[in-house]
Structure formats: structure tokens, C-alpha cells
Structure 1
Amino acid sequence: MHFVIIGGDAAGMSAASRARRNAPDMKITVLEMTQDISYSACSMPYVLADEEGDMDALIMRTPAVFREKHGIDLRLGHKVEDIDPEARRVSGRDSEGKNFEVFFDKLLIATGSAASMPLIPGHDLPHVFVLKSLDDGRRVKAFIEEKRVKKAAIIGAGYIGLEMCEALTERGITVQLIRNAPEILPWLAPELSLVVEKALGEKGILINHGCTTERIEAHGSRLDICCTEACFDAEMVLMAIGVRPSGFLAKNAGLELGAAGAIAVNRSLQTSHPDIYAAGDCADAYHVVTGEKVWIPMALTANRAGWAVADHITGKPVRMEGVAGTGVFKIFDVEVARTGLTVQDARKAGFDPVEVVVKSYSRAKTVAGSRPVWVQMVGDRQSGRLLGVSMVGKDNEARRINAAAVALHARMRVADFSTADLAYAPPFSPVWDPLLVAANQLLKKL
């Protein structure tokens, strides 16, 4: 069997490594269009925050390890441009412009996602960046250091945009955050969103709400970022308005697309062609709360899906239960965590959602280090099911959210969760953990 993989990051290389363990004699070929594989893209803002940080330190395994230790035919600089499902062939060009074609028995599409870039005037100026690939990180780092940047604008306030507010501030760069929505993180309750916004303001981040960027103009080494009613100056711009699934190869090959234009897959990660699989940020998934298809790109999902594809093609039964959309990030000393559905999500999915927002404390009040923590919890009025939780605070909320994520995977009711035996000792939690406080309050409303 010849197993061909398009894409050499999380899902692709996880699948290649697992397939080699499962089937030592299998022929495995990986086609990666860049010169980088198997790296931690999520860590790039933290490397950029460190003047001595090295982007190449984020590479988990070098190409030599896969080639020499695992016997994988890893081809860098090979951009696949076409998939022919009937001929079982992929084709494209290498870094020297030469045509290539590779035939497969089983194919995995692991092309990930691409940074969204609005096609406004000035989007292609050399001062304007995205932060998606390792090369993007290298370019941003080199520009900051060569130009000695002192003022930057970030357009967008998702995970990367907010993490980069901290990273650039750590480098002594003044940051202007430009957001077309009227609030930070609109999926959070206002009480939680205000905590995040206050943290940004305390660190000198200048926030511009409801500002749609119309154009970017260059004036020598300076840029003007012009919105509907005002212009802001900066020396560099980071576009951080999100990512989109890279499903164009699948679409051109006649494969079905699913949620948000991602490649549609079943619970075994097969596309509409049974011998072609998709995994990682380019593929959709099932939501554990709704059972419906969603597109939620996350690193753990990509790695787990890569393993699942390798298991399936080597004869092991696979059924991916799905995702809860669990995510965490930090902004200076504030931790933001979420899992499951918001009220808006729940309503769209046909639930009758009820929500509470509570303020509690991370530890017993008498213990040093106890900090306020805000919990937003959503349940379904009809079934009593727990639907989603968000948390904001400054003391280990990124770990606390895992209890709620497990509850969602177990399809627990709020009443069940409220009786969970969560750990208590004064240095770690009040007697009533903040999650239990929220669950008890939600029960009253349900």
C-alpha cells in the first residue's frame, strides 16, 4: 500500500508517524509545499515576545528524523496543485518549478488552514503581515528587529491578535488594536469581556471598536490604517482576523465540502471518496453537544485526527466522537477559557438555552493569591443538559475549564455536574469551586 499525505504539519506528520508504527513495511510519502514541518505554530507569539527567541526552536522534529529514523519519503517544497481521485494521482510543482506526480492507494489531505486577508488597498504592502506559518513568524521577527519598530497596529481580536498584543508590548512596541465589532470577544458575556478589555487598557493597548479598515497607505516607513471615520498611524500592521480551511484541492477534485467550507469527513475521517481522508484544520468535525458538523481548528484535534487516519487505513476501527470547541489563551495575566456552546450557538442548534454569569474566587479568600474568577454557564431548559462554559480570571482558569469539557463529552446534565466531587483545599479552591457555584445558580434558573 502507498499512503500519500499532502501537508507536513500536525495532522500530516502525526498520521505518517503512526502509520509507520502500525505498518513498518508501508510505503509512506509526504508532500509539503514549504520547507518546514512539525512545528508549534501556537507558540509563535511567545517567541516573538522574547528578543532572544528563536523561531526554529519551535520545530518539534527535523526532516532528517522522519526520513532516516522512520523511513518516510518526505518531500519538501512540493506543492500539490491537483488531485485526480479516479486515477489515484496527485500532481504539482516542486520548489524548482519542475512538475511531479505521485500515485496513491490511500490519500490524506492535511493542508491545514490559511490566514484570512481582506483584499483592501494596501493589504500587500511589505509592512503588512499575517502570522500563520513559521516563515510568517520569521518575517515578523526580522522586520521588528531590522526596522526597530516602536508602533504597530493589529487588525482583529481573535486568539492570535490578542496574544500578539502582549507579545509586541513585551518588546516595547505601542499597540493599536483595531476591531470592527463593538466589543472584545463578542462570544463572552459582557461582564467577562470587560475584564479582558480592562487588562488590555491597563497595559497601554489602544482599542478602537467598531472600526472597519478600508485601506492601508504607505508614507515611507510609516503606514496609515484608515477606517470609516478615522486613520491610525503605525510602522507595521498585523492582520489577525482569523483563518479559513484550505479545502480548494478537495473542492477541485469533486470532494464534498462541509461546515465553513472545510472538507466534509465522516467519523472515520473519510471524505466523499472512501480512499481519500482529510484531517486537521482543513476538515470539519462533529460537535459533541449538538452532533452537528462544525469547523473548529485546534491543534489537539489535528494531532488526534492524524492518528485516527493512520489507524483506519491500517485496519483498526476508528470512530471520532467529535469536539467540544475547548480553547484557552492568555492576555498578560488574564486567562480566557471556553468549551461548548454560547447562548447564541445553543439557540441556533435548537436548544432552549438558559445562562448565568457568576463571580467567585479561585481559592479560599483567606489564602494568598486568591483572585476573582468569572464563570458563564449555559444549560438547556428542556433537557437540563450542560451546554457550555466560559471563564475569565487570573488564577488557573485554563486548567479549570477541563472539568467542564469532560462534562460535555459525557453529556452530563447541569444537575449531575453540580454534584461532581471536585477537589478542595484552601490553596487551590474554595469549598464550592467556581464551576459548582455557577452550576448551582444555573439549576435555579432551569
Structure 2
Amino acid sequence: MKVVIIGGDAAGMSAAMQVVRNDEQAEVTVLEKGSYYSYAQCGLPYFIGGLVEDSGDLIARSRDTFREKHGIDARIYHEVTELDPENKVVKGDNLETGEPFEMTYDKCLVATGASPIFPPFDGNDLEGIHVLKTIPDAKKIVEDMNEQVTQVTVIGGGYIGLEVAENFVEKGMSVRLIDLAERVGTVYDKEISEKIEKVAKKQGIELVLNESVESFEGDQRVEEIKTDKGSYQTDMAVVAIGVKPNTSFLKNADVHLHQTGAMIVNSYMETNVKDLYAAGDCATQYHRIKEKNDYIPLGTHANKQGRVAGSNIAGVTKTFQGIVGTSIMKFFELTVAKTGLSEKEAEDLNIPFQSILFEGHTHAGYYPNSEKILFKMMKHKSNGQLLGVQAVGRDGVDKRIDVAATALYHNMTISDLENLDLSYAPPYNGVWDPLQQAARRL
């Protein structure tokens, strides 16, 4: 069996390993547009900030490991430009030689990931303007941070924008963050994002909200950013306003696409086209609470979906059980996390809900260094099903959000959550976990 995998990062290589482990006779070829295999994209902001000193530390497995140890034909600089599912042919270009290539397959997995959205702003070809998605992107930013660069502007107040802003501050830069929205961290409800905004200002980040970038100005290098309301001097800019699935090469393949451009897959990672699979940031994820396909591109999903796809390609039946919308981030001293639905998501889905804000503590108040955690919890108005939890604090947030994610996965009610047998000792918790206290109040 000839298996062609397009894309050599999390989903692609998780799948490749499952194929070779379950079918020793399979011929597996991976076509990677860049030069890096299996690297930790989520670690890139911390390479910029210097917390990760060597970009090589972000590589989980090298290309040579896949080739020599596992017998995978892992190619680099091979960009796929066309897929012909009817004839089972992949076409593209070797970016090193400039030569075109064609390859037949029995089964094919698309794991092309996503690319940063980079609108056609006037002047976006000036030097000093960056995006962040790959190790080369991060290296360019680090190389560009010379002694003349003191003012950095980050465009976008989502996860990547906030993490990049934090790491520029850690490097001693003066940081400005511009966002079209009225607040940063809009994936969270207002009460949670207000905490992020407060810390951003405390750390000296200039927040420019409700403004739309229109152009970059400068001679050869960016010197100024113009919005619909003003202009701002800058020495460097990082655009971090989201990503889009890398699926444009499928225009003639008759593959069903989600409204975001992601490939629609079933629980086996199959598309609507025979013997064509998709996984990772170019594919949809079934949302267990929304009960519909969603697009939340994260490394956790990519690895899981890749394993499922590879197993099924090799003839070992597995299914992807879906997501509940769990995410977490560090922002200076804060940990901010979410699982399930936000109020906006519930409103968009016409789900009747009730919510509560509750401030609890990480552990027993009499034990030293107890910290506050702010919770936002939602339940279904009629049946009491837990719908979502958001939390922000200095410590203990990760533990609670993972308990909540487990409860959501199993469709638990508020009462079920209150009755969980959670661990207690004064250094770790109170006799009532704050998550359960919030549930009781709700």
C-alpha cells in the first residue's frame, strides 16, 4: 500500500508513525513544504523571549529519525499544488530544484496545517513586518531584534498576539498591541478578558483597541502603522490576527469544506472523497457541546486526529471522539483558561443558559500563599448540564479547567460536578474545591 501524507508536522507525522507501526509493508511518503518536521509551534513565542534558548529544542523528532529509524520517505521542500483524487495523483513542485513532481497513492492524508492570515495592507512588503507560525518565522524575528529595535507593535489580541507581546516585554521592548475588537482575549467572556487587560497595562503594554490597521509606512523598513483612527511609530511589527487552513490546492478536488476553509471529516478522519483523509489544522473538529463541526486549530487536536487517521489508513479502526473547546495560556503572572462554551457561543447557538462569577482560592486559606481564582461558569437553563467554565488566576487554574473539561466530555450536570470526589489537603485545596463551590452557587 502506497500512502502519501501531505504535511510533516504534528498530524502528519503522528499518522505516519501509526501507519508504519501497524502495517510494516506500507510505503509511506511525506511531502513537507518547509524544512522542519515535528516541531512545537506553541513554543515559538518563548524562543523569541529567550526562555527557549535553541530553536532545535522545539523539534520533537528530526527528519533523519523518521527516515533512518522508521523507514518513512520524509521529503522536504516539496510543495503540493494539486490533488487529483479520481486518478489518485498528487502533483507539486520541488522548491529546491524547481522541478515539478507527480506521485500516485492508494491512500492519502492531507495534514497541511494552517497559515497566518496576512491581509493585503499597503506596505506589507516592508522589512521588519513579521508573522509567527514556523521556526524560520521565529528565527527571522529574533534576528531582526537588534539594538535599533526598541518599539514593537503586535497586531492582534488573541492567544499568539498576547504571548508574543509578553515575550517582547520580557526582552525589554516597548510594546504596543493593536486590535480591531473592543477588548483583548475575545475568546473569553468580558469579566475574564478584563483581567488580561489589567495585567497588560500593568506591564506597560500600550493597548490600542477598536482600531483597524490600514497601512504600513516607511522607506525600506516599517516606521509607522496607520489605522482608521491614528498613526503609530514602530521599529517592528508582528501580525497575529489568526490562521486559515492550507486547503487552496484542493480547488479541483471536489472536497467538502467547512465555512472556514477546513476540510470536513468524519470521526474516522475521512473526507467525502474515497481514500482521502484529513487531520490537524486543515481539518474540522467535532465539538461535543455544540454538537457540530467546529474549527479550533490546536496541537492537541492535531496529534490525536493524526493518530486516528494513521490507524484507519493502516486498517486499525479508531475514531476521534471530538473536543469540548479547552485551551489555556500564560500571560505574565496570570494563567487564563477556558473549556466548553462562552456566553457568546451559547447565544449564537440559541442555547438557554445561566452563568455565575465566583472567586475562590487555590487552597486552604490558613495555609500560606493561598491565591484567588476567578471562575465564570455556565449551565443549561433547563437540564442543569454544565456548558462551560473559564478561569483566571496565578495558580491552580490548570487543575480546575482540566476537571471541568472532563466533566464536559461526559455531559455532566452541575450537581454531578458538585458531587465529584476531588483531592483535598490544605496545601492543595479547601475541603470544597472552588470549582465545586461555583457549581453549588450556580
* Interval containing the TM-score (normalised by the shorter chain): over 0.9
Q: How many residue pairs were aligned?
A: 441
Could you tell me which residue of structure 2 aligns to residue 395 of structure 1? Answer: 395
Shift of 1:41: 0.8
CA distance in 1: counterparts of 2:36 and 2:283, whole angstroms: 21
Equivalent position SS for 2:438: helix
Offset from partner CA, 1:393-427 (integer Å, 9 cap, x none): 00031232100000111011111111111212221
Offset from partner CA, 1:48-107 (integer Å, 9 cap, x none): 111872222211111110000000011111000000001100011002110101100000
Could you tell me which residue of structure 2 aligns to residue 258 of structure 1? Answer: 258
Residue 319 of structure 2 is aligned to residue 319 of structure 1 = yes
Could you tell me which residue of structure 1 aligns to residue 139 of structure 2? Answer: 138
Could you tell me which residue of structure 1 aligns to residue 243 of structure 2? Answer: 243
CA distance in 2: counterparts of 1:356 and 1:251, whole angstroms: 46
CA distance in 2: counterparts of 1:67 and 1:280, whole angstroms: 22
CA distance in 2: counterparts of 1:130 and 1:181, whole angstroms: 19
Amino acid in structure 1 at the alignment position of 2:335:
E
Shift of 1:148: 4.4
Could you tell me which residue of structure 2 aligns to residue 110 of structure 1? Answer: 111
Offset from partner CA, 1:13-37 (integer Å, 9 cap, x none): 1111111111122100000011111
Residues 87-98 of structure 1: matches in 2 within 5 Å? 87-95=87-95, 96-98=97-99
Residues 19-418 of structure 1: matches in 2 within 5 Å? 19-50=19-50, 53-95=53-95, 96-145=97-146, 148-219=148-219, 223-418=223-418
CA distance in 2: counterparts of 1:220 and 1:246, whole angstroms: 30
CA distance in 2: counterparts of 1:395 and 1:204, whole angstroms: 23
Contact 2:127/2:220 (8 A) holds in 1: no
Larger displacement relative to structure 2 (42-51 or 184-193): 184-193
Contact 1:259/1:294 (8 A) holds in 2: no
Amino acid in structure 1 at the alignment position of 2:127:
P
Contact 1:113/1:244 (8 A) holds in 2: yes
CA distance in 2: counterparts of 1:129 and 1:58, whole angstroms: 20
Shift of 1:191: 2.5
- Alpha-carbon RMSD across the aligned residues, in angstroms, is 1.4
CA distance in 2: counterparts of 1:267 and 1:350, whole angstroms: 25
CA distance in 2: counterparts of 1:422 and 1:371, whole angstroms: 19
Shift of 1:122: 1.6
Amino acid in structure 1 at the alignment position of 2:286:
Y
Contact 2:216/2:222 (8 A) holds in 1: no
Equivalent position SS for 1:142: helix
Contact 2:159/2:185 (8 A) holds in 1: no
CA distance in 1: counterparts of 2:150 and 2:290, whole angstroms: 46
Amino acid in structure 2 at the alignment position of 1:103:
T
Shift of 1:221: 5.1
Shift of 1:259: 4.5
Equivalent position SS for 1:318: coil
TM-score (norm. length: structure 1)? 0.96
Contact 1:250/1:256 (8 A) holds in 2: no
Shift of 1:158: 0.7
Amino acid in structure 2 at the alignment position of 1:159:
Y
Offset from partner CA, 1:414-443 (integer Å, 9 cap, x none): 11111111212221122221211211121x
Shift of the 131–436 alpha-carbon distance from structure 1 to 2, 3 Å rule, reads same
TM-score (norm. length: structure 2)? 0.97
Contact 1:289/1:324 (8 A) holds in 2: yes
Amino acid in structure 1 at the alignment position of 2:143:
A
Contact 1:151/1:235 (8 A) holds in 2: yes
Which ranges in structure 2 are unaligned for 5 or more consecutive residues?
none
CA distance in 2: counterparts of 1:140 and 1:321, whole angstroms: 38
Equivalent position SS for 1:261: coil
Contact 1:343/1:354 (8 A) holds in 2: no
Offset from partner CA, 1:253-291 (integer Å, 9 cap, x none): 111102422101111000011200000000001101122
CA distance in 2: counterparts of 1:301 and 1:220, whole angstroms: 40
Shift of 1:249: 2.4
CA distance in 1: counterparts of 2:52 and 2:347, whole angstroms: 47
